[in-house]
Chain A
């Protein structure tokens, strides 16, 4: 295993891989640092650039974006008090107060170094645990896969911030989109209404770009040209004070338990399908506060808060990569795009991925590991530039990102049809956002739709007994977990409603 990893590291250190990795990490850091530009959007924008590259170079670039974006978000957190990306949300709680206390450099570099160490610790798990996870996945039959996909969707729908019902409808809507076109078993046309436009179904990536990137930009445009009475006091334009990298690292390693625990929290949340970096950073922050000897200092510029949040969101990346490589299930929207990129490059991820493509698998591990020093180098060299980037106007950013979205959709198969699909789903995505439907379940439904159907039909073709879904231990356990996830979400929602009613004043 270590031989393969070493080979992967030597392989990725070649210019043809190192350059895309470095470029991806750079774009990730910049994209992550721009408030309103999510990591998903950045990965989507970078995707068309990888079409012409070889698979490992393309995936190295995407891995770089993922790692860079997870760290870049902390810059806006610390300087503007706005999370550059949702994954950095908990960094804002202490990063911005620390900057306001006159230590923006300490806040940023604590975050950057905690990201590096959290990410590298996560890499250990990625390298050593993905294989055993894939071995477990090899034991899965179509029943278990079907149940696992159902669990993934139930968890995503249940963990959405808005209503559970809307989350479930959103999942079903995502599945519905995959039904259009030819059915995957017998190639019978379904819901095409005789139209050539949708005869082949909706291409996955233009739909994804439309629903996610377009809808996000349009939502950001709503807030443009309005009085910024709600924006927190900004520190943009401030110069970083003198600081010592050694001192910052000592500060981090003085609390090894905090670093390790935050990493494990991030990793576990990364492995669980589609919970995401924002949940991991908030959960690690919450845990750090609970275990801390000085919980009263949290929220006032406490270094422990920054370390926990940043170590966790970078470790989250390794957890998500583990799920995608072992099971072929995207852990979040970013890995969903990466899964799409793998398909474009002709790679089938899943339990056999590592054994059938060891060079590629260990190349991805190596890219993930090397992305961290790259990210550190970029932050050290370009921090002054990045401080200016956070103030790029949306009026400039939006048209450029939209052009890249259009190119990304068009370049997929060089037809305008993909662009029309992009526009159509841009409108659909925006309408759904405005109606309060969460997009994450929709995207998971969209990604897993075909696989769910194939595994369901395959299971029935193998044995027509429907009880097998429940009586096979792993499958039954997974379905039980899915039901428990929905019940827990309902219970949490009801508890929240009751609390709101109790807290309402009596007039």
Chain B
């Protein structure tokens, strides 16, 4: 009997809800409140555990049923690009407190643009740089100068 994507998701959610459910029973009760802090979490987690178990069951049963042919012309998805985009966002978030908002944002916008559509000519590179610097500058002036929102300062750059 094979398990599908839904089944795996259901198993992970079931494990999470059971672990937390055990924890919710261990929460201390309060003398003035008739129900303790674990009462409501226990309801939510029981509901989630039951739903996840049903999802696993549904997935197992669906694998027994004859497979309906899927549409053959569904376009393929560019997951590589998504992984790269998440990695670039991760680097941006890591660099923000080190380089500060202005430098990190300019680098991030430039890098992500290049990853999403690689420029081929000098003009395209210039446009990319202008958008990167422009986004950093405009957002800095609007937020920090006009709306008085203090944006991250860089530990390495000092601004």
Binding site for B on A (CB under 8 A): 48-49, 51-52, 163, 165-166, 168-169, 172-173, 175-176, 179, 183, 185-186, 188, 190-191, 214, 218, 221-227, 229-230, 393-396, 398-400, 402-404, 406-407, 410-411, 414, 416, 419-420, 423, 426-427, 430, 435-437, 452-453, 456-457, 460-461, 464, 500, 504
B 123-150 binary contact with A (CB < 8 Å = 1; else 0) = 0000000011001100100110001111
B 75-101 binary contact with A (CB < 8 Å = 1; else 0) = 111110110011001101100110000
B44 beta carbon closer than 8 Å to chain A: yes
B40→A172 contact, CB < 8 A: no
| Min CB–CB distance B144 → chain A (angstroms) | 10
B18 beta carbon closer than 8 Å to chain A: no
Residue in A163, A173, A398 whose beta carbon sits within 8 Å of that of B112 in the complex:
A398
B149→A411 contact, CB < 8 A: yes
B147→A169 contact, CB < 8 A: no
| Min CB–CB distance A101 → chain B (angstroms) | 28
24 residue pairs bridging A and B, Cβ less than 8 Å apart: A51-B147, A165-B54, A165-B58, A168-B47, A169-B51, A172-B44, A176-B20, A176-B48, A179-B44, A186-B30, A190-B27, A218-B85, A221-B85, A224-B116, A225-B116, A396-B113, A398-B85, A399-B113, A403-B109, A403-B135, A403-B136, A411-B149, A435-B9, A460-B35
Residue in A173, A229, A500 whose beta carbon sits within 8 Å of that of B13 in the complex:
A173
**Cα–Cα distance between A500 and B55 once the two chains are bound (Å):** 21
| Given A179-B44, A224-B116, A403-B109: A410 touches B152 (CB 8 Å cut-off) | yes
B 1-25 binary contact with A (CB < 8 Å = 1; else 0) = 0000110010001000100100110
Closest chain A residue to B40, Cβ basis: A453
Closest chain B residue to A227, Cβ basis: B75
B93→A172 contact, CB < 8 A: no
B28 beta carbon closer than 8 Å to chain A: yes
B45 beta carbon closer than 8 Å to chain A: yes
**Given the complex, which residues of B lie within 8 Å of A191, measured CB to CB?**
20, 23, 41
**Given the complex, which residues of A lie within 8 Å of B9, measured CB to CB?**
435, 437
| Min CB–CB distance A86 → chain B (angstroms) | 20
**Cα–Cα distance between A173 and B78 once the two chains are bound (Å):** 28
**Given the complex, which residues of A lie within 8 Å of B48, measured CB to CB?**
169, 172-173, 176
**Given the complex, which residues of B lie within 8 Å of A163, measured CB to CB?**
58
Interface of chain A: mostly helix, strand, loop or mixed: helix
For the complex of A and B, list the 5 residue pairs with the smallest distance between their C-beta atoms, beginning with the closest.
A395-B116, A172-B48, A395-B117, A183-B37, A222-B77
**Given the complex, which residues of B lie within 8 Å of A407, measured CB to CB?**
139, 143, 149, 151
B68 beta carbon closer than 8 Å to chain A: yes
**Given the complex, which residues of B lie within 8 Å of A500, measured CB to CB?**
68
Binding site for A on B (CB under 8 A): 5-6, 9, 13, 17, 20, 23-24, 27-28, 30, 32-41, 44-45, 47-48, 51-52, 54-55, 58, 68, 73, 75-79, 81-82, 85-86, 89-90, 92-93, 96-97, 105, 108-109, 112-113, 116-117, 131-132, 135-136, 139, 142-143, 147-152
**Given the complex, which residues of B lie within 8 Å of A403, measured CB to CB?**
105, 108-109, 135-136, 139
A175→B44 contact, CB < 8 A: yes
**Given the complex, which residues of A lie within 8 Å of B73, measured CB to CB?**
230
B30→A185 contact, CB < 8 A: yes
Residue in B34, B55, B151 whose beta carbon sits within 8 Å of that of A169 in the complex:
B55
**Given the complex, which residues of A lie within 8 Å of B79, measured CB to CB?**
222
| Min CB–CB distance B79 → chain A (angstroms) | 6
Residue in A185, A230, A400, A410 whose beta carbon sits within 8 Å of that of B135 in the complex:
A400
**Given the complex, which residues of A lie within 8 Å of B52, measured CB to CB?**
169
A414→B150 contact, CB < 8 A: yes
**Cα–Cα distance between A297 and B34 once the two chains are bound (Å):** 64
| Given A169-B13, A416-B152, A436-B6: A399 touches B135 (CB 8 Å cut-off) | yes
B51→A223 contact, CB < 8 A: no
| Min CB–CB distance B84 → chain A (angstroms) | 9
**Cα–Cα distance between A327 and B79 once the two chains are bound (Å):** 42
A423→B93 contact, CB < 8 A: yes
| Given A393-B117, A410-B151, A457-B33: A224 touches B96 (CB 8 Å cut-off) | no
**Given the complex, which residues of B lie within 8 Å of A452, measured CB to CB?**
40
Residue in B28, B34, B105 whose beta carbon sits within 8 Å of that of A460 in the complex:
B34
**Given the complex, which residues of A lie within 8 Å of B35, measured CB to CB?**
457, 460
A166→B55 contact, CB < 8 A: yes
**Given the complex, which residues of A lie within 8 Å of B149, measured CB to CB?**
48, 51-52, 407, 411, 414
B39→A399 contact, CB < 8 A: no
| Given A176-B45, A399-B108, A457-B39: A222 touches B82 (CB 8 Å cut-off) | yes
**Cα–Cα distance between A161 and B80 once the two chains are bound (Å):** 27
